[in-house]
Amino acid sequence: MKKIASIFMGLFLVMTLSACQEQTTETRSSGSTNTNSSNQSGSAAEGTQELGKTLVVYFSVPETQDPNNMTQEEENSVVVIDGKVLGNTEYVATVIQQETNADLFRIEPKTPYPTDHEDLVDLAKEELDDNARPALAEQVSNIEEYDTIFLGYPNWWGDLPMILYTFLETTDLSGKQVIPFNTHGGSGFSSTIQTIKEQSPDANVEENGLTISRDDVQDSENQIKDWVASFQ
């Protein structure tokens, strides 16, 4: 059966393209932020007093956009809400965004990833082996405005997806609070929090990240809210 989750009224942020065991940009339109047809406005965006102005950045590749007749692997990579498909990491990101009143930015590659499971797995492994840096479709042009960055991604082959390396190497997170969250097929964070610290040595990277199994994402709303509340 397809996985169906219910979240509170007002959830309207639905994107396309989070898997490879779940395993791309949304920001609020402001004077210095570029948007395209895949990017929609977040809410008021000043965040909480404790977090300051907050941005939720995430990478997610759902393996289908069709909520009907999904394969097991497609089910594993998505949450379906009111008949609409969200990638696992995308779903977590939207809950965080609403809880923090943050802006939302989806990391997307210039060349889209395949949605077929085997092709996606193979490409992710090839990128890892090649230490690739996939080009981004868009950058956060006003990153300097934010105090806190929630950074979300799936665990791919026990590592960050290589496009996360591209983001971290091309985005100055110096002085910012970076709070990781991820979805996974059994490996949790692996060593990805340490990797984020190494890639952004001048950022304050939180150890208290949130990692959720792909099997539990559809029922994780309260867990996500409780975790976000620990920073507020």
The answer to whether residue 66 is domain-embedded is yes
The answer to whether residue 24 is domain-embedded is no
Q: Give me the pLDDT at residue 83, please.
A: 87
Q: Give me the pLDDT at residue 221, please.
A: 97
The answer to whether residue 17 is domain-embedded is no
The answer to whether residue 13 is domain-embedded is no
**In this structure, what CATH number is given to the domain that contains residue 220?**
3.40.50.360
Total domains in the fold of the chain? 1
Q: Which H or E element spans position 58?
A: strand 54-58
Rounded Cα gap, residues 30 and 66, in angstroms: 32
The answer to whether residue 174 is domain-embedded is yes
Check whether 228 has a pLDDT greater than 50: yes
Rg (CA), the chain: 16
The answer to whether residue 28 is domain-embedded is no
Q: Give me the pLDDT at residue 27, please.
A: 40
pLDDT tens digits, 14-65: 333 343 444 433 443 333 333 333 343 343 345 555 899 999 999 999 999 9
- The candidate with the shortest Cα–Cα distance to 14, out of 76, 68, 65, 75, is 65
Domain span including residue 218: 54-230
The answer to whether residue 170 is domain-embedded is yes
Rounded Cα gap, residues 128 and 9, in angstroms: 39
Check whether 143 has a pLDDT greater than 80: yes
The answer to whether residue 31 is domain-embedded is no
